[in-house]
Structure 1
Amino acid sequence: MCDRFAPVPGLARRAVATGGRRTGWPRRPALVMPRPGHPAEVLVTAAGRTIRAAMGRSAVATFKREGDGATPRCRMVPRAALVRGRPAVPARPPLPLPWRPVRAADGWCDAPGHGLYNRYVKRPASMSHEALARGDALYDVVVITDHNQSPRVQRGGSAIFLHIARPAMTPTEGCLAFPAAAWHRAMVPLGPYLIGVPQRPAAGARGRPPRVRHR
Structure 2
Amino acid sequence: MNRVDPRGPFAVPRRATRWPPALVRPRPTSRTQAIVSCGGRTFIVAMGRSGIAAVKREGDGATPRGRLTPRTLLRRKPCPSPLPWRLIRPGDGWCDDTGSQHYNRAVPHPSPMSHEAILRDDALYDHVIVTDHNATPRVRGAGSAIFFHVARPALTPTEGCLAFPAAVWRRGIVPMGPYLIGIPPRPMRAR
TM over 0.5: yes
1 CA distance for matches of 2:175 and 2:86?
19
**Could you tell me whether the CA contact under 8 Å between 2:53 and 2:62 is conserved in 1?**
yes
2 CA distance for matches of 1:149 and 1:133?
22
Change (3 A) 1:9 1:150: closer
Match of 1:121 in 2: 107
1 CA distance for matches of 2:11 and 2:59?
29
Q: What 5-or-longer segments of structure 2 have no aligned partner?
A: 1-5
Match of 2:137 in 1: 151
Match of 1:42 in 2: 34
1:165 aligns with 2:151: yes
Residue 124 of structure 1 deviates from its aligned partner by 1.9
How many residues are treated as equivalent by the alignment? 182
1 CA distance for matches of 2:11 and 2:18?
26
1 CA distance for matches of 2:153 and 2:55?
29
**Could you tell me whether the CA contact under 8 Å between 1:10 and 1:100 is conserved in 2?**
no
1 CA distance for matches of 2:65 and 2:11?
31
Match of 2:121 in 1: 135
- The amino acid that maps onto 2:170 is H
Match of 1:21 in 2: none
- The amino acid that maps onto 2:28 is P
2 CA distance for matches of 1:137 and 1:186?
16
1 CA distance for matches of 2:8 and 2:162?
20
Cα-to-partner distance string for 1:137-173 (whole Å, 9 max, x where unaligned)? 0000011011000001110000000000000000000
Query: How is 1:164-183 mapped onto 2 (pairs within 5 angstroms)?
Result: 164-183=150-169
Match of 2:3 in 1: none
1:53 is paired with a residue whose SS is strand
Percent identity of equivalent pairs:
57
**Could you tell me whether the CA contact under 8 Å between 2:8 and 2:107 is conserved in 1?**
no
